[in-house]
């Protein structure tokens, strides 16, 4: 530390301005809590971040009274999910029967979503968002976390808080500093993300394309496809040795109509590697400290549910902790209540993801021959009623949260 240290006091300090951190910041500020969010980047614009806003999240936006304005932001609406398995196209999920106000998945660039939350939170005088502010360590006093030390462009900052919430993602520095035990469930896959141009004749719905040795997911971004090529764990270096043409050919074989566009990938800079991890903290909290979202439980990209599970964590944390934060410090029992509320959904979704990884995706990647859809999926495609089951799991998750807090004026801090 240098002598040039400034200091801030706040009720709740949230480390990480991603979906979990920004939603929690908005909900706590709305409930009258003084809250400060730290985001290490200068803006929210990062490509190939999760962009799926599921019906459970849209329901929270509705309950906050923000849905009509939210839906004016650029987005695509997906009411069904299809998969191409071998030569068969199968509808695997139908969201149009969900008991929610929005019976679709919204595909919205994450920076649009985060900017929207930031603008709405800024309407509350007790909300503060500090960009280009990187939390580097925890402040600990008398056996409890009392704040964070952060690095800014103006120098170092000591930010003292009644509660620190780690929402800084799967590579959480705060989690490392806290030293809490992690249960690692493993993953046999990584993902390569890229974008290719889209034509109106391509169709509208996102498709998972599965065939021997290849899994390709394509998300409609209006003027382009956001493509995810699933590869074997730690296989990227071997692919790079084969040359860029190996990736181009894998995409072209997975989606033959894209063959004349794979040349848009001109260098490895056009391809981003997502190293997939599935893990969870066995304990999400210490006195004065709580973890939520990927910092508490890193998810596989299967189903695109990670963001929405993180936002459900935010809603649960706001519901349980807002009243305590208005009065001072939450107790350890209240922090434990957040983990207890959210651990079961986390365990179930991670179990489903690991099962799919190990029993479906891993064997597909190990084959080079043509595959056929298993009878269970063929039956799912033929019986529309069954398509509501995966739609509910993906769209609403396990134990969806609701807004239980009331909009209140902020509580002034004692001088």
Closest CA relative to residue 132, chosen from 244, 234, 38: 38
Name the one residue in this structure whose structure tokens are 């498709």: 207
pLDDT digit string, tens, across residues 316-350 = 999 999 999 999 899 999 999 999 999 999 999 99
pLDDT digit string, tens, across residues 32-59 = 999 999 999 988 887 656 688 999 999 9
Q: Please determine, for residue 408, whether its predicted confidence score (pLDDT) is greater than 50.
A: yes
Exposed/middle/buried for residue 175 (C-beta within 10 Å: 0-12, 13-18, 19+): buried
Residues of the chain with pLDDT > 90, as a percent, come to 70
Q: Measured between alpha carbons, how far is 53 from 55 in angstroms, rounded to an integer?
A: 7
For residue 391, the 8-state DSSP code is: H
Kindly state the average pLDDT of the residues 165-194.
93
**What are the residues whose beta carbons fall under 8 Å from the beta carbon of 213, sequence distance 6 or more?**
364, 365, 366, 367, 368
Q: Measured between alpha carbons, how far is 219 from 205 in angstroms, rounded to an integer?
A: 8
pLDDT digit string, tens, across residues 9-29 = 999 999 999 999 999 999 999
Cα–Cα–Cα angle for 277, 166, 41, nearest 5°?
85
pLDDT digit string, tens, across residues 237-287 = 999 999 999 999 999 988 888 999 999 999 999 999 988 989 999 999 999
Kindly state the average pLDDT of the residues 99-112.
94
Report the predicted TM-score, pTM, of the whole model to 2 decimal places: 0.93
Name the region of 222 (left: φ>0; alpha: ψ -120 to 50; beta: rest).
left
Residues of the chain with pLDDT > 70, as a percent, come to 95
Q: Are 129 and 99 in contact (CB under 8 A)?
A: no
Q: Which CATH superfamily is domain 5-78+105-185+277-359 in?
A: FAD/NAD(P)-binding domain (3.50.50.60)
Q: Measured between alpha carbons, how far is 86 from 213 in angstroms, rounded to an integer?
A: 11
Exposed/middle/buried for residue 42 (C-beta within 10 Å: 0-12, 13-18, 19+): exposed
3-state secondary structure (DSSP) of residue 195: strand
HSE of 216 in the Cβ direction (CA atoms, 13 Å)?
25
Name the one residue in this structure whose structure tokens are 């790079």: 240
Looking only at the bridges linking them, the beta strands covering 224-232 and 214-220 are antiparallel
Confidence of residue 218 (pLDDT cuts 50, 70, 90): confident
Q: What pLDDT sits at residue 362?
A: 80
Q: What pLDDT sits at residue 49?
A: 65
Residue 127's alpha-carbon distances to 27, 32, 40, 130, 376, in angstroms, are: 10, 9, 17, 10, 50
Q: Measured between alpha carbons, how far is 21 from 117 in angstroms, rounded to an integer?
A: 10
Name the one residue in this structure whose structure tokens are 């650029």: 74
Cα–Cα–Cα angle for 401, 405, 409, nearest 5°?
150
The angle, 0 to 180 degrees and rounded to 10, between the axes of the packed helices 19-30 and 306-327 is 30
Kindly state the average pLDDT of the residues 206-211.
76
HSE of 103 in the Cβ direction (CA atoms, 13 Å)?
9
Q: Residue 212 corresponds to which tokens in the numbers above?
A: 């021997």
Name the one residue in this structure whose structure tokens are 């009243």: 323
Residue 156's alpha-carbon distances to 34, 129, 134, 380, in angstroms, are: 21, 16, 9, 56
Least confident span in 187-196, 217-226, 255-264, 345-354: 217-226
Q: What pLDDT sits at residue 413?
A: 64
Q: Residue 341 corresponds to which tokens in the numbers above?
A: 């509320």
3-state secondary structure (DSSP) of residue 164: strand
Confidence of residue 1 (pLDDT cuts 50, 70, 90): very low
Q: Measured between alpha carbons, how far is 223 from 378 in angstroms, rounded to an integer?
A: 32
Q: Measured between alpha carbons, how far is 96 from 313 in angstroms, rounded to an integer?
A: 25
Q: Are 228 and 361 in contact (CB under 8 A)?
A: no
Q: What pLDDT sits at residue 384?
A: 93
Q: Are 128 and 10 in contact (CB under 8 A)?
A: yes
Looking only at the bridges linking them, the beta strands covering 35-38 and 5-15 are parallel
């Amino acid at each position: 530390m240098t002598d040039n240290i400034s200091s801030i006091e706040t009720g709740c300090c949230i480390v990480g301005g991603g979906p979990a951190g920004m939603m929690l910041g908005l909900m706590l500020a709305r409930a009258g809590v003084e809250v400060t969010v730290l985001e290490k980047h200068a803006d929210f614009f990062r490509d190939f971040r999760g962009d799926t806003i599921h019906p459970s999240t849209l329901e929270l936006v509705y309950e906050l009274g923000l849905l009509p304005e939210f839906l004016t932001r650029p987005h695509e609406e997906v009411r069904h999910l299809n998969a191409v398995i071998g030569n068969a196209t199968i509808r695997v999920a139908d969201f149009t029967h969900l008991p929610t106000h929005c019976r679709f998945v919204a595909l919205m660039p994450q920076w649009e979503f985060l900017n929207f939350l930031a603008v709405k939170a800024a309407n509350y005088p007790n909300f503060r968002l500090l960009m280009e502010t990187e939390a580097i360590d925890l402040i600990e006093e008398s056996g409890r976390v009392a704040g964070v030390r952060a690095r800014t462009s103006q120098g170092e900052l000591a930010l003292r808080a009644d509660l620190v919430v780690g929402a800084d993602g799967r590579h959480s520095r705060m989690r490392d500093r806290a030293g809490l035990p992690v249960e690692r469930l493993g993953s046999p896959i990584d993902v390569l993300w890229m974008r290719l141009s889209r034509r109106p004749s391509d169709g509208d719905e996102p498709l998972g394309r599965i065939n021997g040795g290849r899994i390709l997911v394509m998300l409609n971004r209006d003027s382009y496809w956001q493509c995810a090529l699933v590869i074997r764990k730690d296989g990227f270096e071997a692919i790079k040795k084969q040359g860029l043409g190996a990736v181009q050919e894998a995409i072209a074989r997975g989606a033959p109509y894209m063959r004349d566009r794979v040349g848009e990938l001109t260098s490895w800079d056009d391809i981003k590697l997502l190293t997939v991890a599935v893990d969870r903290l066995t304990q999400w909290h210490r006195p004065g400290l709580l973890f939520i979202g990927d910092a508490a439980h890193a998810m596989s990209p299967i189903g695109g549910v990670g963001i929405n599970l993180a936002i459900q964590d935010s809603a649960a944390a706001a519901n349980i902790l807002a009243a305590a934060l208005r009065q001072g410090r939450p107790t350890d029992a209240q922090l434990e209540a957040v983990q207890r509320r959210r651990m079961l959904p986390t365990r179930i979704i991670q179990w489903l993801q690991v099962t799919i990884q190990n029993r479906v995706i891993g064997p597909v990647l190990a084959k080079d021959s043509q595959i056929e859809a298993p009878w269970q999926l063929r039956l799912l495609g033929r019986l529309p009623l069954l398509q509501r089951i995966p739609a509910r799991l993906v769209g609403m998750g396990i134990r969806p949260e609701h807004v239980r807090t009331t909009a209140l004026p902020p509580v002034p801090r004692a001088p």
